[in-house]
Amino acid sequence: MTEPLPQGAVIGILGGGQLGRMLSVAASRLGFKTCIYEPGGDCPASHVSNYHFQKPYEDEDALRQFAEAVDVITYEFENIPTSALDVLDGLKPIRPGREALRVSQDRLTEKDFLTNLGLKTAPYADIPDAASLKAALDTIGAPAILKTRRFGYDGKGQARIMQTSDADAALSDMSGAPAILEGFVDFSHEVSVIGARGVDGQVACFDPGENVHQGGILRTTTLPANLSAAQRTDAVLLTGQILNALDYVGVMGVELFVTPQGLIVNEIAPRVHNSGHWTQQGCSVDQFEQHIRAVAGWPLGDGSRYADVVMENLIGDDMDRVPELAQDPNVSVHLYGKAEVKAGRKMGHVNRVVRRD
Amino acid sequence: MTEPLPQGAVIGILGGGQLGRMLSVAASRLGFKTCIYEPGGDCPASHVSNYHFQKPYEDEDALRQFAEAVDVITYEFENIPTSALDVLDGLKPIRPGREALRVSQDRLTEKDFLTNLGLKTAPYADIPDAASLKAALDTIGAPAILKTRRFGYDGKGQARIMQTSDADAALSDMSGAPAILEGFVDFSHEVSVIGARGVDGQVACFDPGENVHQGGILRTTTLPANLSAAQRTDAVLLTGQILNALDYVGVMGVELFVTPQGLIVNEIAPRVHNSGHWTQQGCSVDQFEQHIRAVAGWPLGDGSRYADVVMENLIGDDMDRVPELAQDPNVSVHLYGKAEVKAGRKMGHVNRVVRRD
C-alpha cells in the first residue's frame, strides 16, 4: 500500500492506553475509524474508538479477525509479543515496521544498533550470568544500573548498583531474565526529540523538549529545551539518522542525555511518546496526528512550534489538583478516563502554554 | 446536580453528526465517556463514543434506557421531538434546558422572545393562512422570506418572495406547515458570537466571527470579524443577555446582522455552532470543550483568541481538495468520517491559521 488511506479506512491499534486514546482522537480528525486490540476492558482508547477486540495477545483467531477488520496496523507500546506479530505479519501493513520493534524490544540490540550507527550510548555490557556481571563492573565501574533486556518501562525491571557488593542483589532482582549493565552517564539534563517519517521517506522532527523524571516516571517536559543551536541540530540530525536506518514509518521518541562531550542516546521508543504531549498545544499538527498521517500514507504535517509549553503529567493523586488546574486560563487539561486512581499511575497531563508577546 | 461530574461520568448526546463527534472528542479530553442517541447507523459521533443507541426518537423504552446510562443529557441539534424530551425530562438533567429548546425550535417564539428582551430582529409576522400572508406583505413589503416556523436548517423550509405575486407559490412551498414571514434586512455582513454559560451562571463569549454563506450554507467564518469596538461589545453583551434570560447552561451560537442601525439578531442555536469551529485552532479551550465543561458543571475555560483564523467548510466535492490542503502548513484539517460524499453535505472543515508575528 503506497496510496494514502481513504476516508473511513480503519486504523488498527495494538494497545488501549492513553496513547491509543489520543491516537484514536487524531485518527477521527482525519476521517478514519479505529479498532483497538487490548486485553483489558474499559480501557482509555476504547472510549473513543469504533471497535475494541478485548482479547489476549495469544488468541491467534482474534488477531486474524483484527487484521481482517483494519487497513493498517500500528501500536501504542513496543512490548508486543513476537508471536502476535508473527500472526499479523503479512496480513496487513504493520507501521512502524517489525525491524523497529525488534531493535527497541531489547535494550542490548538497541544499544548495538545505535553504536553501529556511530551514535553514542552509555557504556553497556551483556549480562547473561553472574560472572559476566563481575567482569562488566570491572570495566564499566560502579555506580551502574542493571536492567532486564526486555519488557522494562517507567523504571520497572531495573536495579541500581552503587558499589560492586550490590551486584548479587541486583542480579537476583532480575529473576533470571536476560540483562544488560549500563554505566552511569554524567549528564546535565535529558531532552527528547519526537521525530516522524512518512511512507515516502519524508522526515520531520518536533523541537526537542527537556524532560524531568521523578521516581523513574516522566514528570515534566519543557519547551524550549536548554540546548545550544548546535546541540539542537545534532539532536534532530541523529533522530533522522535513526528513522532512516530503520526505514521507519510513524512517530518515534528519542531520549537524549546532554553531556559536555555531546549528546548520548538513552533510548528510543517506536511510538508516540509521553514527552511529545506538549505538541497538542504547541504545534498545528501534534504527535498523534503526525503518527496517524505517517501510518495512513498521508504527507507529514507541519510540526513547527508556535508557543512555549510546559507539559506536566498528572500522576496518582495529582488528580486532586484538576479542579484548580481547570480554572487556570493558561492550562489545557487532558485526562485519560481511567476508572481507578493509583499511586504512580499516569491519569492525565496538562499543557501550560507560555504565550509569546 | 450542582457538583461537577466526576471522571468516568457519561455524557449523553442526542444526535450523532459532526457536532456530536467533536463534542465526544472534547468530552474524552476531560475524562468523560459519551453515549450517542442517533437513529442512523455508522454516524460520525458513534466513531468516537462509548455507546450508541441506534434507536428512533419515538422509542420511549430506548429513551429511558439512554437516560439510565448517562449522567447528563445534551444535544447537537435543536429539532429534537418534544415527545422525546417529555420522556427524558426529570430522568436526568437536560442541558441546555427545555426553555432554550422551546424558544429556538419555533422561529416565531424565538423572534417574540428576542423582541421582548429589547433586541432587534428582522420585521416578522405570524402566517397561519393566506390572508395573513397578504396582510403581512402589505406591512413588511417585498422582498421578504417565508419560513416554516419549525424544523428548518441550512436554508431548507424557506421560500423567497421577491414580489407580492410570489406569495401563493411560497405559501404552497410550506406544505401547510405553520410559517413566519421575515422582512429582508439591509445588512453589510453577518457575524456570530459563540457564547457559553456555566451551571453557576458564569458567562464567557468567544470573539465574534464573520460569516459568509453560499446557497444557504455557511462557507467561511473569519476571525477577527469586521466590527467596531462598540459593535463587538454590543454583540457580546446581547449574547450574555440571551444566555441569562434563558438560565442557559452550555454553548449557544448567536447570528447577527450588522447594519448601520446596529446589530440585528438573525437567529440563535442552543448548541455548538458551525461558525465556532475556528476556536479549535484559535483558543486554548474550543467551543466543544466549553460546552462539555458547562454541561458537566465544570468552570468555563479561557476562550480568549490567540490567533487569526479562517474556517472554511468542506462541502461535497470540496473533499477532492483534502490532499492539497493536508500539505499546507497553515491548515488544520478536520474530517467527519462520513461514508458518502453528497452535494451540499458538510464533510469536514479546515482552519487556516494566520500567525501573528
Q: For residue A345, is pLDDT > 80?
A: yes
- Range among A156-160, A169-173, B154-158, B202-206 with highest mean pLDDT value: B202-206
The binding site of A for ATP consists of 107, 147, 152-158, 182-185, 190, 213, 266-267
Mean pLDDT taken over chain B? 94
Task: Summarize the confidence of residues A37-64 as an average pLDDT.
Answer: 97
Q: Which CATH architecture has domain B123-183?
A: 2-Layer Sandwich (3.30)
For A266-284, give the DSSP string: EEEESS--GGGTTHHHHBS
Confidence class for position B356, pLDDT limits 50, 70, 90? low
Q: Which pLDDT tens digit goes with each residue over B197-222?
A: 999 999 999 999 999 999 889 999 99
Contact A25 B30 (CB under 8 A): no
Q: What CA–CA distance (Å, rounded) separates A286 from A302?
A: 9
Which class does domain A10-94 fall in? alpha beta
Predicted pLDDT of residue A354: 85
Which has more confidence, B101 or A339? Answer: B101
- For residues A82, A88, A90 and A96, what is the CA-based torsion angle, rounded to 10 degrees? -70
Q: For position A15, what pLDDT does the model report?
A: 98
Residue A87, min C-alpha distance to chain B (Å) = 27
Which of the residue ranges A170-174, B23-27, B109-113, B155-159 would you say has the lowest mean pLDDT? B155-159
Average pLDDT over residues A153-158: 71
Rounded percentage of chain B residues whose pLDDT exceeds 90? 89
Mean pLDDT of A209-234: 96
**Distance in angstroms between the alpha carbons of the first and the last residue of chain A:** 45
Mutation target to probe the A interface, by most A beta carbons within 10 A, among B29, B325, B334, B336 is: B29
pLDDT-above-70 percentage for chain A:
97
Examine domains A10-94 and A123-183 and report if their fold is the same.
Answer: no
Find, among B19, B13, B59, the residue nearest to B35 by Cα: B13
pLDDT score, position A237:
97
**Tens digit of each residue's pLDDT (9 = 90 or more) over B42-96:** 999 999 999 999 999 999 999 999 999 999 999 999 999 999 999 999 999 999 9
Q: pLDDT value at position A104?
A: 94
Closest CA to B78 of B58, B99, B63: B99
pLDDT of residue B77: 95
Residue whose C-alpha cell is 469586521: B226
Q: Give, for A262, the enclosing helix (H) or strand (E).
A: strand A262-269
Does position B225 have pLDDT exceeding 70, yes or no?
Answer: yes
Task: Determine contact, residues B334/A29, Cβ cutoff 8 Å.
Answer: yes
- For A154: left if phi > 0, alpha if psi spans -120 to 50, otherwise beta; the answer is left
Confidence band (pLDDT; 50, 70, 90) for B188? very high
Give mean pLDDT, residues B25-53.
97
- Mean pLDDT in residue range A250-260: 97
* Structure-block grid coordinates of residue B286: 474550543
Which of B349, B326, B230 is CA-nearest to residue B279? B349
pLDDT at B338 exceeding the cut of 90: yes
CB atoms under 10 Å from CB of A175, counted, come to: 9
The CATH class of the B189-354 domain is alpha beta
Q: What is the pLDDT of residue A355?
A: 66
Cα–Cα nearest to A18, from A109, A154, A132: A154
Q: How sure is the predictor about A154, in pLDDT bands with cuts at 50, 70 and 90?
A: low
List the binding residues of B for ATP: 107, 147, 152-158, 182-185, 190, 213, 266-267
If you average pLDDT over residues B184-193, what whole number do you get? 96
pLDDT of residue A175: 85
Residue A297 pLDDT exceeds 70: yes
Mutate which: A2, A7, A345, A352, vs B, most B CBs within 10 A: A7
B136-140 contact pairs (CB < 8 A, 24+) = B136/B181, B137/B161, B137/B164, B137/B167, B137/B181, B140/B181, B140/B182, B140/B183
Q: Closest approach of chain A CAs to the CA of B258, in angstroms?
A: 31
Cell of A185: 552517564
Amino acid at A78: E
pLDDT tens, residue by residue, A6-35: 999 999 999 999 999 999 999 999 999 999
pLDDT digits (tens, 9 = 90+) for B299-324: 999 889 989 999 999 999 999 999 99
CB of A69 closer than 8 Å to CB of A223: no
Mean pLDDT across A247-269: 97
* Domain coordinates in residue numbering, chain A: 10-94, 123-183, 189-354
Does A357 have pLDDT greater than 70?
A: no
All three cell numbers of A274, joined, read 509521553
User: Do residue B48 and residue A48 have CB atoms under 8 angstroms apart?
Assistant: yes
Q: Which three cell numbers stand for residue B303?
A: 476562550
For A295, phi then psi, to 5°, come to -70, -20
Q: Which chain A residue is nearest to residue B348, measuring alpha carbons?
A: A31
Distance, in angstroms, between A304 CA and closest chain B CA? 9
Of A2, A7, A17, the closest CA to residue A273 belongs to A17
Q: What is the ipTM of this complex?
A: 0.93
The length of chain B, given as a count of residues: 357
Answer yes or no: do B30 and A285 touch at CB < 8 A. Answer: no
Answer whether B28 sits within 8 Å of A21, measured CB to CB. Answer: yes
Q: What is the pLDDT of residue B355?
A: 66
Write out the three cell numbers for B229: 469596538
CB contact under 8 A, B302 and A25: no
Contact A11, A27 (CB under 8 A): yes
